[in-house]
Amino acid sequence: MNVFEVEAVSTSGTLRVIEVSAMTAEAAGEQARAQGLTPLKIGEVGLSKVATRECRAKLLSMKELVSFCRTMSISLKAGGNSFSDCLMDYVGVLGETAPEGVALKRAANRILDGEEPDAALMETGLFTRAFCNAVKSAQKVGYGSALAALAERYKTKLVFQRKIIKSATVPLIVLGITFTIAVVFFCVFVPMLEKMSRDMGTTPNAFSRAFLIFAHFFQATWWIGALGLAGVVWMLIFNAAFRHAMIYLLMGRFRFIRNAVMSVRQLDVISTLWALKRSDVDLAECLREAGNVVAGTGMEKEMQLAAKSLDDGVSLSVALHNHTSLDTRIVRMVGATQDSNLTEQLGYITDIYREESEDRLEGLSILLNVLFVSIAGLILGTLFIAVYAFFLSLATGITVSSGGLR
């Protein structure tokens, strides 16, 4: 059985691209006609291309997600274009042979067949469930405005993501350089010092002997430390559960880290509420989607409980106060706002927390840089002192030997 790609026109005049399994091109054409389509072009798909198309595409990066939301919102706001048409236009930008383009083209075809956009997008594997739920929530108010709001929110998140990466990069680079210097020092330079001591026939003092014992231990185990450091970095980048666990541990021990992390998380929640509320999405649904944005953290369950309370008739401020760890300032500002002005107030709170988060991340970055540079300086200074003491013991041994010979 072969796979054929059929370009065809539907009865409404819409261009469709479908894939069918058939023995021959003629049989593929017959299958297309059976679906009410008029074939224009039929081509066989190679095995490697089939394998590529069947592979589940990876999630779009934050930058790609911002580009997708902006492009789609502009196309939808232009008027006269359906969601599937705009999706096909975006596929043209990506390229139809790219894995993402193939996945989105299939989604466009499913939407033409009557499937909801959020379900079709979810099947592509390019989008998170939180994003698709946000798209679903915006059905009754129009996708163009909703995607524009999402683009703005993801842009903010992208900016803070880069700030966080920058804050962590410099300390990791300093740590890596310091570890590399230590490896070279203990595995190359220290053996040279030992050989020098043996050739001179001197006996190291107590401090130098302890230093050599530690050097031998480091020479035997440095690779374990290197693998451990690489493993921790890899887990922090690629394993969300490990990353959340480490953040939770650090938040419990260091207040300045807790303040920075909570500020960014609250910004995620408030900016999501604002983006969805601007699209006139139901408030309880806004809370649920805000919880999905901080999935894997304690705030996820808190937002779900607040949404449930809202469904039970409780006011927004009371629900946030009773079930969430949001700052009291946020609860009071929301509680003092009339429903008609809630969107404007959420935008104001978002601006406040954006500036506050920027300041706290900047302060955290400076503090971490100073801390790790100080640790590196302490380690390198200790190595220098150890070498100086070793040479001093050699000089003392030589002096004693010379005195004994006279």
Q: Where are the domains of the chain?
A: 2-54, 62-127, 157-406
**Residue-wise pLDDT tens digits, 114-161:** 888 888 888 888 888 778 877 777 665 677 877 887 888 888 888 888
Q: What is the mean pLDDT of residues 79-102?
A: 80
In this prediction, residue 257 has a pLDDT band, given cuts at 50, 70 and 90, of: confident
DSSP label at 95? -
Nearest to 19 by CA among 52, 44, 55, 56: 44
**Residue-wise pLDDT tens digits, 357-403:** 888 888 888 888 888 889 999 999 988 888 888 888 777 766 655 55
pTM above threshold 0.75 = no
Q: What is the mean pLDDT of residues 19-36?
A: 79
pLDDT at 48 over 50: no
In this prediction, residue 217 has a pLDDT band, given cuts at 50, 70 and 90, of: very high
In this prediction, residue 12 has a pLDDT band, given cuts at 50, 70 and 90, of: low
pLDDT at 406 over 50: no
Structure confidence at residue 223 (pLDDT): 92
Structure confidence at residue 293 (pLDDT): 81
Residues 179, 182: Cα–Cα separation, whole Å: 5
Structure confidence at residue 399 (pLDDT): 60
Nearest to 140 by CA among 118, 122, 123, 120: 118
Mean confidence (pLDDT) of the chain? 81
Nearest to 171 by CA among 268, 265, 250, 61: 250
In this prediction, residue 283 has a pLDDT band, given cuts at 50, 70 and 90, of: confident
- The secondary structure of the chain in percent helix, strand, coil, rounded to multiples of 5, reads 75, 5, 15
Residues 60, 47: Cα–Cα separation, whole Å: 25
Structure confidence at residue 14 (pLDDT): 67
Structure confidence at residue 280 (pLDDT): 74
pLDDT at 52 over 50: no
The full DSSP string for 195-240 is: HHHHHHT----HHHHHHHHHHHHHHHHHHHHHHHHHHHHHHHHH-H
**Residue-wise pLDDT tens digits, 316-349:** 889 999 999 999 889 888 888 766 688 888 889 9
Burial 167-183 (b: 16+ CB within 10 A, else e): bbeebeebbeebbeebb
Structure confidence at residue 53 (pLDDT): 45
Residues 290, 309: Cα–Cα separation, whole Å: 15
DSSP label at 60? P
pLDDT at 225 over 70: yes
**Residue-wise pLDDT tens digits, 29-41:** 888 888 878 887 7
Q: What is the mean pLDDT of residues 212-227?
A: 90
